[in-house]
Amino acid sequence: MNDNKEGLGCGKIMVKSSFKKASKKHPERIEISVELTPDYQKDYEIIPFHKDEAANQAEIADFMAKYITKPFNYLENMVGVELNFNKIFYEPEKLREVADILAEIDALDGELKELEAGLVL
């Protein structure tokens, strides 16, 4: 970062890449540039930032007390599980023997030869 600026967060890292064709001086290459830009999008949970850690924690605690009304509790009586039965009870397809497949191909080949012989052109 620039020495005159102070980074307090709320920014975006923009990474750009571009393919450059070969030239007389340079081979073909991919150029990557990284730029830090401020993020001006409005945040809905605005908590002021203080450099003093105690004041900062106090602001966070005030925000939580004002906007977070329900405490977070794990519910023991609720279970949320998704079971993929195809994965658990998967039965692979039974494959035929190679000899059986080759015999069927030979039979089909014989039938095709008979059909071709029946066509008199």
In-domain check, residue 104: yes
In-domain check, residue 91: yes
- pLDDT tens across 76-111, in order? 766 667 778 888 888 888 999 999 999 999 999 999
HEC-encoded secondary structure of the chain:
CCCCCCCCCCEEEEEEEEEECCCCCCCCEEEEEEEEEECCCCCCCCCCCCCCHHHHHHHHHHHHHHHCCCCCCCCCCCCCCCCCHHHHCCCCCCCCCHHHHHHHHHHHHHHHHHHHHHCCC
Residue-number span of the structural domain to which 103 is assigned: 85-118
pTM exceeds 0.75 for this model: no
Could you give the number of structural domains in the chain?
1
